[in-house]
Amino acid sequence: MIDIKFLKENKEVVKENIKKKFQDSKLPFVDEVANLYDQKRELLSEVEGISAERNRQSKEIGTLMREGKKEEAEQIKKEIADYGDKINILNKEIDLLEQKITEIMLVIPNIIDDSVSIGKDDSENVEIEKFGEPVVPDYEIPYHADICEALSGLDKESAGRTSGNGFYYLMGDIARLHSSMISYARDFMIDKGFTYCVPPFMVRSDVVNGVMSFAEMDAMMYKIENEDLFLIGTSEHSMIGKFKGQLIKESKLPIAMTSYSPCFRKEVGAHGLEERGLYRVHQFEKQEMVVLCKPEESMEWYNKMWQFTVEFFRSLDIPVRTLECCSGDLADLKVKSCDVEAWSPRQQKYFEVGSCSTLGDAQARRLSIRAKGENGNYLVSTLNNPVVAICTQIGNWLKSLNFQAKLTPTSA
């Protein structure tokens, strides 16, 4: 969410940014919210004037009472009571305007970085660099679900009976591999100087609204019935929420954390071949990295963080590439983002395993996360990036191994 004062002073900049994101339907919101803000300021000014007059007359009451002018004093008391009623009415109008302003500001996209390429969707993302040689072995690679099942490590049939489609049991050596990769990812980031954290796996709606857009929330989040709680889709939600309403000493910045959590996602519309395995599932585990820093340090951290993901996957001998996300592929809160994609020799293509993003002060503004510096308080910048999503990575790693499993190749 951008600053309403910035919008008021730079309406054409905000409109141009909306056009760059191919969201022209939102263009009228800019003038609408600016007008609402002016109305709010007028009402606030009116309340201020009435309050000043009420205070002035309140002082007169004591003087009149001392002078024995009781009737005049009582008349002023009635006028003061009327002022109070009028102030209450105006404050309700102000609250309604504030609500409308917030609703609109939440859907106006953040100002993207000047370096972001312009494009309508992810088909126009730009490849930046490749790391490692993408190789296709001279033998047919079994599907990862077949490898897992051959090792008695995956049971989706039983999970379907207990929980439905999109869930799974991991067992034996595959379950051990799962745990080992979590531990490896955790220690990898600790060695980079990040503080390890296990966060709450449920958060309140005000935190959800603070860290993501409404569209993302509806598509991803599971809500707990009759509770103001949502299951997290990623630990970024609760890790950023940890600092909601806090004033952080500047000397504590940057705050670099790596967090483990299960992740719960609706995966609306997930279908097809990959449902056989460990893709597009409703529950998985992930190691995340989250940073809070000074605004001027955000791009430095952005470049560090995507490079950590590349280094992690190369340490597993998996070829990867980085893609710069174009303007139309950026979620509304993001300033800049790049995807890290890993090579799948079975599918003979790259697919996403990480997405590093800097969000500027958008999340901090929504959640009121500030730092106390020598020259005053300011909103911090927030960044996030997965280290690894474990189930997806198990599938990719098994497929990437020079491992000729004695399986009958599936036709899938």
DSSP assignment of 253-274: --EEEEEEEEEE---TT--SGG
Structure tokens at 169: 């049991």
The stretches of 321-407 forming alpha helices (DSSP H) are 362-367, 390-400
Burial 280-318 (b: 16+ CB within 10 A, else e): bbbbbbbbbbbbbbbeebbbebbebbbebbbebbeebeb
Q: Mean per-residue pLDDT for 352-363? A: 94
Q: Is the pLDDT of residue 410 over 60?
A: no
Q: How far apart are CA 50 and CA 42, in angstroms?
A: 12
pLDDT at 406: 41
pLDDT higher at 169 or 218: 169
Q: Mean per-residue pLDDT for 38-60? A: 85
Q: Mean per-residue pLDDT for 289-295? A: 97
Highest mean pLDDT among 206-220, 305-319, 390-404: 305-319
pLDDT at 224: 92
Read off the pLDDT band of 83 (50, 70, 90): confident
Q: Mean per-residue pLDDT for 136-146? A: 82
**What is the 3-class SS of 61-92, one letter each residue?**
HHHHHHCCCHHHHHHHHHHHHHHHHHHHHHHH
pLDDT higher at 145 or 329: 329
Q: Is the pLDDT of residue 292 over 80?
A: yes
pLDDT at 404: 42
Q: How far apart are CA 258 and CA 363, in angstroms?
A: 18
Omega before residue 199 within 30° of 0, cis: no
Q: Is the pLDDT of residue 365 over 90?
A: yes
pLDDT at 267: 75
Read off the pLDDT band of 61 (50, 70, 90): low
Angle between helices 172-190 and 298-315 (to 10 degrees): 140
pLDDT at 408: 43
pLDDT at 351: 86
CB distance 292 to 382 below 8 Å: yes
From residue 48, how far is each of 55, 95, 115 by CA, in Å? 11, 15, 44
Long-range CB contacts for residues 216-225, cutoff 8 Å, separation at least 24: 216/331, 219/266, 219/268, 220/265, 220/266, 221/264, 221/265, 221/266, 222/264, 222/265, 222/266
105, 108, 112, 114: CA torsion to nearest 10: -100
Q: How far apart are CA 284 and CA 245, in angstroms?
A: 30
pLDDT higher at 199 or 135: 199
Residue 345, number of CB atoms within 10 A of its CB: 18
Q: Is the pLDDT of residue 16 over 70?
A: yes
HSE at residue 395, side-chain half, CA atoms within 13 A, is: 24
Q: Mean per-residue pLDDT for 221-246? A: 94
Read off the pLDDT band of 215 (50, 70, 90): low
Q: Mean per-residue pLDDT for 347-366? A: 92
Q: Mean per-residue pLDDT for 55-70? A: 70
pLDDT at 200: 96
Beta strand 349-358 with 336-344: parallel, antiparallel or unpaired? antiparallel
Q: What SS3 class is residue 353?
A: strand
Domains of the chain from N-terminus onward: 4-105 (1.10.287.40), 122-400 (3.30.930.10)
Q: Mean per-residue pLDDT for 34-60? A: 86
Nearest-5° Cα angle at 130, 128 to 132: 170
